[in-house]
């Protein structure tokens, strides 16, 4: 199966923060999971570089827009690498390949008869780069940024969105799972049903953008330019090869709820008009909240993901974000919560289980995992955990998948207590039993590692390595997720997750 997954492309008006990292990690988890299933995956992320907001940010720094973008886009690219994101391409909307594709795309809208020139005045929020209807404002302010939109009047090219209202509503009704969770689907459908107005898709007041191909005096509206990235990237990501026919339509666009309307209403209408298939689904996650407020660069309430990773390790951060906050819902995160989960679940439950297993195989069996006939009951519990985990990942329920994995981690810890290998070791008559227990702990941890690898890729490989189990990428495919352990030499090493001791 083909699996094309995207993140939003992030604005380069300011540096990346943990909110951006969150979506990128989420998409990475799903991309890695699908590779593990054996799917042919294309994972796209990148930066959104045109528009007023970016031009203003550059001007404030006394830089040209391009100089500014080159610098900040690099910060996003570095973040992507530091997050260990397995993206296949990093798109920048200033790439010549993207700009050329955007022009072709809008020509298709024009050829379809869906573009008209009009004069328009409206309330514009620069932070959103979007117009608001009076009815959507809260106390006269943008509901997302709490700033007053400015009146903007221009002669622009319009996309006749209103023409697509019925087709969109029909599409939504025919595809109730297209936007998930259901609450977001309802929100998008009700927005469509309230009536869609035509939208301006060009700007004459700014120059930082992709020129309208038939009118050099206008640039294409940044949101139209940006949405098209999901198509354009495929045309030049691999030099000399057009991946568009291979990977489009995308299986999943990921994002937070702030940009739902653009992706669930405007994007499908643009695709219908230009004659492209619609993506197969969109998953809308919640906001990471710190101290109760949305972490947003516009409000200056930012946690630096670089510092978090440096102090506590990347995999621990990846784990925490999806363990703590149910994927799809808003959730509060903080250092205290992180330290608690880290100590309880990573240090005590997972890390200790690995250390104990390695040390018992060392002590009782000379460091070589014995061959044995497994405990059928335990093996069945392992298989059930793998099945549950797979079903959750298939449904993009990352938090629930982690829960299934943790059920198995906790089951294995209980198994150690129940069987007490240290007692079995004292009784020669129990030698075969001890072989079986040690074998099954290694087999169980091997399954834990496989299931965990989309979320904690380096940790999974490290556990397998310590257990002497095959750990090349091909060995991590889910087709190998059976209850078994190679009879190989284990490696003792320092704790995987040294406990965080309380400060002072
Ligand atoms: N450039 C547009 C997207 C264009 S996509 C064709 C944009 N950029 S953005 O930099 O503002 O990124 C918004 C996205 O960043 C959100 O939809 C979400 O994916 C992510 N997040 C930003 N802050 C976040 C949180 N506090 N919590 C969760 N996600 C966050 O909008």
SS3 string of 39-89?
CEEEEEEEEECCCHHHHHHHHHCCCCHHHHHHHHHHHHHHHHHHCCCCCCE
**Is the distance from the beta carbon of residue 250 to the nearest atom of ligand 1 less than 6 Å?**
no
Determine the Cα–Cα distance for residues 365 and 358; give it in Å rounded to an integer.
10
- CA–CA gap between residue 11 and residue 106 (Å, rounded): 22
Q: Tell me, what's the pLDDT at 302?
A: 43
Q: How many CB atoms lie within 10 A of CB 215?
A: 12
Fold classification of 2-285 is Rossmann fold (3.40.50)
pLDDT at residue 294, as a whole number: 52
Residue minimizing CA distance to atom 25 of ligand 1: 19
> Residue 294 catalytic?
yes
The finding on whether 221 has its CB within 6 A of some atom of ligand 1 is no
Atom 15 of ligand 1: nearest residue by CA position: 20
Residue 229 is inside which H or E element, if any? Answer: helix 229-236
State the closest ligand 1 atom to the C-alpha of 257, by its place in the atom list counted from 1: 17
Query: Residue 312 corresponds to which tokens in the numbers above?
Result: 């506590």
Ramachandran assignment for 211, one of left (phi > 0), alpha (psi -120 to 50 degrees), beta (any other):
beta
Predicted pLDDT at 301: 37
Residue 423 CA neighbour count, 13 Å, CB half: 5
431-452 and 398-419 helices, crossing angle to 10°: 170
CA atoms within 13 A on the CB side of 268: 27
Q: Is 256 in the pocket of ligand 1 (CB under 6 A)?
A: yes
- Alpha carbon of 255 to ligand 1 centroid (Å): 6
Q: Is the CB of 51 under 6 A from ligand 1?
A: no
Task: Spell out a b/e string for 48-61, using b for 16 or more CB atoms within 10 Å of the CB, else e.
Answer: bbbbbbbbebbeee
DSSP β-ladder status, 2-11 and 252-256: parallel
Best residue among 20, 73, 291 to mutate for probing ligand 1, ranked by most atoms within 8 Å of CB: 20
pLDDT at 311: 79
Q: Tell me which fold the domain 335-480 belongs to.
A: Isoleucyl-tRNA Synthetase; Domain 1 (1.10.730)
Residue nearest to atom 30 of ligand 1 (CA): 19
Given the CA of residue 267, which atom of ligand 1 is nearest to it? Answer: 6
The answer, yes or no, to whether any atom of ligand 1 lies below 6 A from the CB of 76, is no
SS3 content of the chain, % helix, strand, coil (to 5): 55, 15, 30
Q: Is 204 exposed, middle or buried (0-12, 13-18, 19+ CB in 10 A)?
A: middle
Q: What residue ranges of the chain have pLDDT lower than 70? A: 291-305, 308, 503-504
pTM: 0.93
Residues 6+ apart with CB under 8 A from 231: 101, 105, 244, 248, 276
Q: How far is the CA of 285 from the centre of ligand 1 (A)?
A: 10
Cβ 144 under 6 angstroms from ligand 1: no
**3-state DSSP call for residue 361?**
helix
CA distance 16 to 172: 33
- Quote the pLDDT of residue 356: 97
**23, 91, 327: residue to mutate for ligand 1 pocket, most atoms within 8 A of CB:** 23
Residue 22 beta carbon below 6 angstroms from any ligand 1 atom: yes
Give the residue extent of every domain in the chain: 2-285, 335-480
- DSSP of 93-151, one letter per residue? TTSHHHHHHHHHHHHHHHHTT-EEEEEEEEEEETTTTEEE-GGG-BTTB-TTT--PPEE
pLDDT of the residue at 310: 84
User: CB-based contacts of 113: which residues, under 8 Å, 6+ apart?
Assistant: none
Any ligand 1 atom below 6 A from CB of 91: no
Query: Is residue 20 annotated as a catalytic residue, yes or no?
Result: yes
Burial 88-104 (b: 16+ CB within 10 A, else e): bebbbbbbeebbebbbe
Predicted local confidence at residue 500, as pLDDT: 87
Instruction: State whether the beta carbon of 283 lies less than 6 angstroms from ligand 1.
Output: no
Instruction: For a ligand 1 pocket test, name from 9, 13, 256 the mutation site with the most ligand atoms within 8 angstroms of its C-beta.
Output: 256
- CA dist 430 and 420 (Å) reads 11
145 is catalytic: yes
**Which residue's CA lies nearest to atom 5 of ligand 1?**
8
Q: Could you give the CA distance from residue 93 to residue 107 in angstroms, rounded to a whole number?
A: 18
- For 399-425, b/e burial (b = at least 16 CB within 10 A) is bbbbbbbbebbeebbebbeebebeebb
């Amino acid at each position: 199966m083909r699996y094309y997954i995207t993140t939003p492309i992030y604005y380069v008006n300011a540096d990346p923060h943990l909110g951006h990292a969150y979506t990128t990690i989420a998409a990475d988890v799903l991309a890695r999971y699908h590779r593990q299933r054996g799917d042919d995956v294309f994972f796209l992320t990148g930066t959104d570089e045109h528009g007023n907001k970016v031009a203003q940010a550059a001007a404030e720094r006394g830089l040209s827009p391009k100089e500014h973008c080159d610098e900040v886009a690099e910060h996003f690219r570095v973040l992507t690498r530091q997050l260990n994101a397995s993206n296949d391409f990093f798109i920048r909307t200033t790439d010549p390949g993207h700009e050329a594709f955007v022009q072709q795309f809008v020509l298709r809208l024009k050829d379809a008869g869906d573009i008209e020139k009009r004069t328009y005045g409206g309330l514009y929020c620069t932070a959103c780069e979007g117009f608001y209807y009076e009815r959507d404002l809260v106390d006269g302010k943008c509901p997302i940024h709490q700033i007053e939109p400015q009146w903007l009047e221009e002669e622009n090219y319009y996309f006749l969105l209103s023409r697509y209202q019925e087709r969109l509503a029909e599409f939504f009704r025919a595809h109730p799972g297209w936007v998930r969770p259901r609450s977001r689907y309802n929100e998008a459908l009700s927005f469509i049903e309230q009536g869609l107005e035509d939208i301006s898709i060009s700007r004459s007041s700014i120059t930082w953008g992709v020129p309208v191909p038939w009118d050099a005096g206008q640039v294409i509206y940044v949101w139209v330019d940006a949405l098209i990235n999901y198509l354009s990237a495929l045309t030049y990501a691999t030099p000399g090869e057009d991946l568009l026919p291979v990977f489009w339509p995308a299986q999943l666009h990921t994002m937070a709820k702030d940009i739902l309307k653009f992706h669930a209403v405007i994007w499908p209408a643009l695709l219908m008009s230009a004659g492209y298939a619609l993506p197969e689904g969109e998953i809308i996650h919640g906001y990471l909240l710190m101290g109760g407020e949305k972490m947003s660069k516009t409000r200056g309430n930012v946690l630096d993901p670089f510092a978090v990773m440096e102090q506590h390790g990347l995999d621990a951060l990846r784990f925490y974000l999806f363990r703590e906050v149910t994927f799809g819902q808003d959730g509060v995160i903080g250092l205290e919560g992180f330290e608690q989960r880290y100590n309880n679940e990573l240090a005590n439950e997972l890390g200790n289980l690995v250390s104990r297993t390695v040390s018992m195989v060392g002590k009782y069996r000379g460091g070589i995992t014995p061959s044995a006939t497994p405990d059928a009951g335990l093996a069945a519990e392992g298989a059930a955990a793998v099945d549950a985990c797979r079903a959750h990942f298939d449904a993009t329920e990352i938090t629930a998948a982690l829960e299934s994995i943790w059920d198995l981690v906790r089951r294995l810890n209980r198994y150690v207590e129940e069987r007490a290998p240290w007692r079995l070791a004292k009784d020669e008559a129990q030698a075969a039993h001890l072989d079986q227990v040690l074998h099954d702990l290694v087999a169980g941890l091997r399954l834990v590692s496989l299931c965990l690898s989309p979320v904690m890729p380096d940790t999974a490989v490290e556990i397998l390595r310590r257990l002497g189990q095959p750990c090349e990428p091909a060995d991590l495919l889910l087709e190998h997720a059976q209850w078994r352990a190679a009879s190989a030499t284990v490696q003792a090493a320092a704790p995987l997750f040294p406990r965080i001791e309380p400060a002072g």
